[in-house]
Structure 1
Amino acid sequence: MPCYAIDGVIPVVDPSAFVHPTAVLIGDVRIGPECYVGPNASLRGDFGQIVLERGANLQDNCVMHGFPGSPTVVEQNGHIGHGAVLHSCIVRHDALVGMNAVVMDEAEVGVEAIVAANSFVRAGMRVAPRTLVAGTPAKEIRALSDDEVMWKKEGTEAYHDLTRRCLATLVEVQPLTAVETDRPTPKAPGVLPLVATRKTS
């Protein structure tokens, strides 16, 4: 992975974490155990501290950055969807930030809360625990159901499994020129979109 020191500060990655080779880490970045960092993610600890706690995942094309003295933190089992931007904010444990959402300076996403895809969480906003917020700017929509909290937990567990799969089997290869007749399917049991879980419950 491209990994850079700045002012003598070197990123730290726990050996049980997976960081994709195309992700970029700069300066005061701290990636804890069992974390997943996806392709093309950018973690810039060149001004403020960047922290992923145990089991957090930061998916493809996400950006984490922040101001001096104002860390950007994703707590344990935080779940950050594709293309999200986090800046000098805190995502509390077991919370989810949806795809392409933006969470601004000194905002806090509460425990087990969900920020809907494409939402804009303004600077200083406090998202209450187990609450869904959505929109630009984000507004509280309602309390989350137990089923929704469980769906989020299962999705994060799927990323814990993906971390292990990547550490064990991900290798760079040349593409084939044709599809094999006995082509295997990636193993991701239980990975379902929320709309699918609603249909089965």
Structure 2
Amino acid sequence: MPCYRLEGVTPVVHPTAYVHPTAVLIGDVIVGPGCYVGPAAVMRGDFGQLVLEEGANLQDTCVMHGFPGCVTRVEKDGHIGHGAVLHGCVVGQDAMVGMNAVVMDGAVIAARSIVAAAAFVKTGFECPPQSLIMGAPAKVKRELSDQEVAWKQQGTREYQRLTERCRDSLEPCEPLAELDVDRPRLNAGDTQPKQQTLDKGQAS
């Protein structure tokens, strides 16, 4: 992976984590045990510190950054959907930020909450645990049901399994010129979470 030391500060990646070779890590970055960092994700720790705690995922093309002196943190089992931007914020334990959402400086997404896709969470935002957060600017719409939290947790477990799958078998290759015989399918089978509709929008 492109990994850069800055002013003597070197990124840290736990040996049980998986960071895709196209992800970029710069400076004060800490990737914890069992984390997944997807293709083209950027963790730019050139001002403040960036932390992924155990079991968190940061998916394709996500960006983590922050102002000088701040810590941008995704707590244990946090789940950050494709293309999201986290800037100087905290995403609480077992919370999720949906695709293309933006979470700004000083915002705190409480544990077990879900930020809907394409939401814009303003500076200094706070919410109670287990909140559904939607809109631009984002607001707490309602409390999440236990069933919706369980749906999120199942999706996070799939990414934790993906971490192991990638560490075990992902490798560069040349594409085939034609479809191979008895081609295997890559899917999670019966463990695939059923998608839940969150009011009028999808969270991820």
Q: Which residue of 1 aligns with 2:124?
A: 124
Q: In structure 2, the residue corresponding to 1:166 is in which secondary structure?
A: helix
CA distance in 2 between counterparts of 1:193 and 1:123 reads 33
Q: Which residue of 1 aligns with 2:200?
A: none
The offset of 1:193, in angstroms, is 4.7
Alignment map for 1:15-26 (pairs within 5 Å): 15-26=15-26
Letter in 1 for 2:59: Q
Classify 1:122/1:193 alpha carbon distance in 2 versus 1 (closer, same or farther; 3 Å).
farther
Report how many residues are paired: 196
Letter in 1 for 2:149: V
CA distance in 1 between counterparts of 2:179 and 2:110 reads 45
Instruction: Describe the superposition over 1:5-28 as per-residue Cα deviations: whole angstroms up to 9, x where unpaired.
Output: 111100000000000000000000
Letter in 2 for 1:79: H
Alignment map for 1:130-149 (pairs within 5 Å): 130-149=130-149
Gaps of 5+ in 1: 197-201
Letter in 2 for 1:149: V
CA distance in 2 between counterparts of 1:101 and 1:187 reads 26
CA distance in 1 between counterparts of 2:86 and 2:134 reads 16
Identity of aligned residues (%): 59
Q: TM-score, normalization: structure 1?
A: 0.95
CA distance in 2 between counterparts of 1:173 and 1:77 reads 31
Q: TM-score, normalization: structure 2?
A: 0.94
Query: Which deviates further from its counterpart, 48-57 or 127-136?
Result: 127-136
Alpha-carbon contact 2:154-2:193 (below 8 Å) kept: no
Q: Which residue of 2 aligns with 1:154?
A: 154
Letter in 1 for 2:147: D
Alignment map for 1:1-201 (pairs within 5 Å): 1-189=1-189, 190-195=191-196
Indicate the RMSD between aligned Cα atoms, in angstroms: 1.0
Runs of 4+ residues over 6 Å off in structure 1:
none
Q: In structure 1, the residue corresponding to 2:8 is in which secondary structure?
A: coil
